[in-house]
Amino acid sequence: GAGVSQTPSNKVTEKGKYVELRCDPISGHTALYWYRQSLGQGPEFLIYFQGTGAADDSGLPNDRFFAVRPEGSVSTLKIQRTERGDSAVYLCASSLTRDRVRAGELFFGEGSRLTVL
């Protein structure tokens, strides 16, 4: 597609439920990032993929959060036993990273707004 696509755009769930958020990056982009953004704040880093592997998952808050990118394209962020504090907009971004030293331009999707009741 022309840009980064995220689904669903909105998700309302109950505390304790399992949630999957999907990201379809720009075709050919090798790097994929997940960020979480709370109202009025900047994006908080969660995890970064280079190809199929998680190059940096230091931002995942706990073991309830997990992300995969099995074929190096689409990625899924999985949240188990959701808590009210997980409510936020989850942003996905992709990048065509040629430079191994510094980050290139990140192209963001519109985000998935998660509300845990």
List of residues contacting another protein (CB under 8 A) = 4, 31, 33, 35, 40-45, 48, 50, 55-56, 58-59, 91, 93, 95, 97, 100-111
Q: Minimum Å distance from CB 82 to another protein?
A: 22
Instruction: Write b or e for each residue in 19-46: b if 16 or more Cβ atoms lie within 10 A of its Cβ, otherwise e.
Output: bebebbbbeebbbbbbbbbeeeeebeeb
Q: Minimum Å distance from CB 46 to another protein?
A: 11
Dist CA 84 CA 99 (whole Å) = 39
- Residue closer to another protein by CB (options 85, 104) is 104
